[in-house]
């Protein structure tokens, strides 16, 4: 390959066509990229540098933390808090808003992130990732919770980095979806997957089957039809995948289609879902829709939801348009 296009070059060229856009956003993305390169290096090194295993602590969600959950959160915060591009941050690992230290200038953007998605995979050497979302903030004002709790449709950028056999960043700024592969030799993300789109048709689904007994009837119906294969009402065979890492699931769907489901279940009526709206569902919904897919709770479009808290959980059904619309139709028919 020749004439490599770097991520920075791509963003600058994309912004040239947009009126009133400054270079601040490009610099902010470079800050995120710097943090993700550091995380990629640590994930790749693993036990060689002593970063695997449990931290023997819990995060704000009540989930047991891995050492890398804490380390990657610190990397993201330290890479973003001093540059003057952000007014504030929020993380899966921290209860409230993360303020910018008073000695540093404040910018006009807010960042929300899951620093290590799929961290249960890290000790068995499976794919993990980082998810991030960027919002605009009122200039000159200390951000409040209200500034963060905005609909997903108001995001100016969303992306994720997949730490797999190669490190990849998938990004949207509302003008399609593009994928970049980290060239370890030169330390740059290079455009390798331009204009990614999700096929409308698929024969592949991803769901945690161990929760089947708790699903609502629309999800039970959909999965049963898939499992019936060519002998059933769908008249075709489906394959099932489950990686337990949202970044890996969504990347697979972006490259070959499919549907990913972490639906509402009946175990705890007070908890609407497993995945967090602000730094998991919203950024992934933005990416999926920009690639031609659909993202829903089963009852409403994810990007239209009015958030109620930084760590709000929601059901998520996303992926190939025709399959998501089918299962949404089952929910609506149920009433």
**62 annotated to a ligand binding site:** no
Evaluated on CA atoms 252, 254, 256, 260, the torsion sign reads: positive
Burial grade of 141 (CB within 10 A; 0-12, 13-18, 19 or more) = exposed
**300 annotated to a ligand binding site:** no
Q: What is the CATH number of domain 204-334?
A: 3.40.190.80
Q: Which residue has the higher pLDDT, 13 or 88?
A: 88
Report the CATH superfamily, name and number, of domain 7-193: Fructose-1,6-Bisphosphatase, subunit A, domain 1 (3.30.540.10)
CA distance 269 to 262: 15
Residues 147-165 have pLDDT tens digits of 999 999 999 999 999 999 9
Q: Do domains 7-193 and 204-334 have the same CATH topology?
A: no
Q: Span 225-230, mean pLDDT?
A: 97
CA angle centred on 136, ends 118 and 303, rounded to 5°: 55
Identify the H or E element spanning 241: strand 239-241
**Domain regions of the chain by residue span:** 7-193, 204-334
CA distance 12 to 10: 6
**117 annotated to a ligand binding site:** yes
pLDDT in the model for residue 164? 92
Mean pLDDT of the chain: 92
**237 annotated to a ligand binding site:** no
pLDDT in the model for residue 21? 63
pLDDT in the model for residue 126? 85
**231 annotated to a ligand binding site:** no
pLDDT in the model for residue 62? 62
Residues 195-214 have pLDDT tens digits of 999 999 999 999 999 999 99
124 pLDDT tier (thresholds 50, 70, 90) = confident
pLDDT of 265 over the 70 cut: yes
Enter the pTM of the model. 0.94
Q: Span 171-196, mean pLDDT?
A: 96
pLDDT in the model for residue 139? 74
pLDDT in the model for residue 330? 97
**114 annotated to a ligand binding site:** yes
**280 annotated to a ligand binding site:** yes
**208 annotated to a ligand binding site:** yes
Please name which of 81, 139, 138, 75 lies closest in space to residue 111, comparing C-alpha atoms.
Answer: 81
């Amino acid at each position: 390959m020749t004439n490599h296009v770097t991520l920075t070059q791509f963003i600058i060229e994309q912004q040239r066509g947009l009126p009133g856009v400054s270079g601040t956003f490009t610099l902010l993305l470079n800050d995120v990229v710097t943090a993700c390169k550091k995380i990629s290096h640590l994930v790749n090194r693993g036990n060689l540098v002593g970063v695997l295993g449990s931290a023997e602590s819990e995060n704000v969600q009540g989930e047991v933390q891995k050492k890398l959950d804490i380390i990657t959160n610190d990397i993201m915060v330290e890479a973003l808090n001093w540059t003057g591009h952000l007014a504030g941050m929020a993380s899966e690992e921290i209860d409230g808003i993360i303020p910018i230290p008073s000695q540093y200038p404040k910018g006009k953007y807010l960042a929300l992130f899951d620093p290590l998605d799929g961290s249960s995979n890290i000790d068995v050497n499976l794919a993990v990732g980082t998810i991030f979302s960027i919002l605009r903030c009122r200039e000159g004002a200390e951000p409040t919770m209200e500034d963060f709790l905005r609909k997903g449709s108001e995001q100016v950028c969303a992306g994720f980095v997949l730490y797999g056999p190669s490190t990849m960043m998938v990004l949207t700024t509302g003008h399609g979806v593009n994928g970049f592969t980290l060239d370890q030799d030169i330390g740059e993300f290079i455009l390798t997957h331009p204009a990614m789109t999700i096929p409308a048709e698929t024969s592949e689904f991803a769901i945690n089957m161990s929760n089947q007994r708790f699903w609502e009837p629309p999800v039970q119906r959909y999965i049963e039809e898939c499992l019936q294969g060519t002998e059933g009402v769908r008249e075709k065979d489906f394959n099932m995948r489950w990686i337990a890492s949202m970044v890996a699931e969504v990347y697979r769907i972006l490259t070959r289609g499919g549907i990913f489901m972490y639906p509402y279940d009946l175990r705890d009526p007070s908890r609407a879902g497993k995945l967090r709206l602000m730094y998991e569902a919203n950024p992934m919904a933005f990416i999926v829709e920009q690639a031609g897919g659909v993202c829903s709770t089963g009852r409403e479009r994810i990007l239209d939801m009015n958030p109620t808290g930084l760590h709000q959980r929601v059901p998520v059904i996303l992926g190939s348009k025709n399959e998501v619309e089918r299962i949404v139709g089952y929910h609506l028919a149920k009433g």
